[in-house]
Amino acid sequence: MVKKKKIYLQPTPVRIWHWLNAFGIMTLIVSGTQIRFPEFIHVLGSYKAAVYLHNTAGFVVALSFSLWFFYYMFVSRTMADLYVPKAVDLKSGIIRQAKFYFLTYFLGWDNPHHPTPENKFNSMQKSVYLGIMFVLVPLVSLSGIFLTNVEPLRSLIVMIGGLKLLVGLHFILACCLTAFLPTHIYLATLGHTPMEHIKAMWTGWEETKVEVSEGANKNQKEMDDIYAEQRAA
């Protein structure tokens, strides 16, 4: 039997952060491309406009990152639960989720992970977001802050290997973040309907169809039990 259920998955601060971040990152990609390839890209008008916009968007993204960090760390206090993969995620969760994405999805099986506010991300998402939010975004932001303050921070820049290393790092990390976008947007369409997850990020509410037969949710129940035990511990 299939049952419809609405859950409040994305609280307001998270949605504000997400769209601020999305808008900021898109702006950074376009302005960054113009800054690196000025003779080919002129979409933002003058070079100076692109530089100012890039710096402003970078500031907005750094600010929204702080909002995200503050909310999950100190308000909802769910950072570790949501973003840090547990032993069970690494042992079996990732394989189970990969099997779904690359095999059973095409056979028409249901997603083994059903998001709840306490366990929003599947095992693969946790691992990827951990890398993105705790390594990629902080490093690209930090390198950007250094690049907007080269003269006052020159000694520090020299100490870490020089301006070219910093610029190279900023560029390659930015490319990684850019590469994540098409995958992120595509995966967001893999809900029961293509807009299900995207709507949830706008309204906060996600309508899920839950299969209440014995077998379909057995794995999920097992995972939920393990998470509950680990949280209690």
Partner 1 sequence: MKTKLAKRILQGVLLVLAVILVPLCGSAMEMDDCLGCHADADMVGAELQIDSERFEHTVHAEFGCTTCHTEITDDHPDDGAVVSATECLDCHEETADQYGHSAHAENATCVDCHDPHNATGLEKMAAQGMNQACETCHETEEVVTMHAEWLPQATLHIAQLPCITCHTDADGYEVVLNITQKQYDGKLSSYSVSTLEDLQKYSDGDDISALIDLNKDDFISLAELRTFNKNPAYAELRIEGMLAPNTASHDFSTHDNRFDCSFCHVSGPESMQTSFLALPEPSGGFTRMAVEQGAVLDALYGTPDFYMTGSTRNASMNLIGFAIICGGFIMPIGHGTLRFMTRKNRKH
Interface residue list for partner 1 (CB under 8 A): 35-39, 46-48, 51-52, 55, 101-102, 105-108, 148, 150-152, 154-159, 161-165, 167-168, 171-172, 174-176, 178-183, 185-187
Q: Which residues contact 143 (CB under 8 A, 6 or more apart)?
A: 166, 169, 170, 173
Instruction: Provide, rounded to whole angstroms, the least separation between the CB of residue 220 and partner 1.
Output: 19
Please say which residue, 51 or 226, places its beta carbon nearer to partner 1: 51
HSE, side-chain direction, 13 A CA sphere, residue 117: 13
Instruction: Provide, rounded to whole angstroms, the least separation between the CB of residue 179 and partner 1.
Output: 3
Whole-number Å distance between alpha carbons of 93 and 80 = 17
HSE, side-chain direction, 13 A CA sphere, residue 56: 10
Whole-number Å distance between alpha carbons of 11 and 99 = 30
Instruction: Provide, rounded to whole angstroms, the least separation between the CB of residue 38 and partner 1.
Output: 4
Please say which residue, 15 or 209, places its beta carbon nearer to partner 1: 209
Please say which residue, 18 or 209, places its beta carbon nearer to partner 1: 209
Task: Name the DSSP class of 119.
Answer: B
Instruction: Provide, rounded to whole angstroms, the least separation between the CB of residue 176 and partner 1.
Output: 6
Six-digit token pair at 205? Answer: 């509410």
Please say which residue, 42 or 77, places its beta carbon nearer to partner 1: 42
Q: Which residue, among 120, 137, 219, has the nearest Cα to 177 in the 3D structure?
A: 137
Please say which residue, 12 or 155, places its beta carbon nearer to partner 1: 155
Whole-number Å distance between alpha carbons of 65 and 35 = 23
Please say which residue, 75 or 156, places its beta carbon nearer to partner 1: 156
Sign of the C-alpha dihedral computed for residues 218, 219, 222 and 227 taken in this order: negative
- Tokens 């893999």 identify what position? 190
Instruction: Provide, rounded to whole angstroms, the least separation between the CB of residue 77 and partner 1.
Output: 32
Instruction: Provide, rounded to whole angstroms, the least separation between the CB of residue 51 and partner 1.
Output: 5
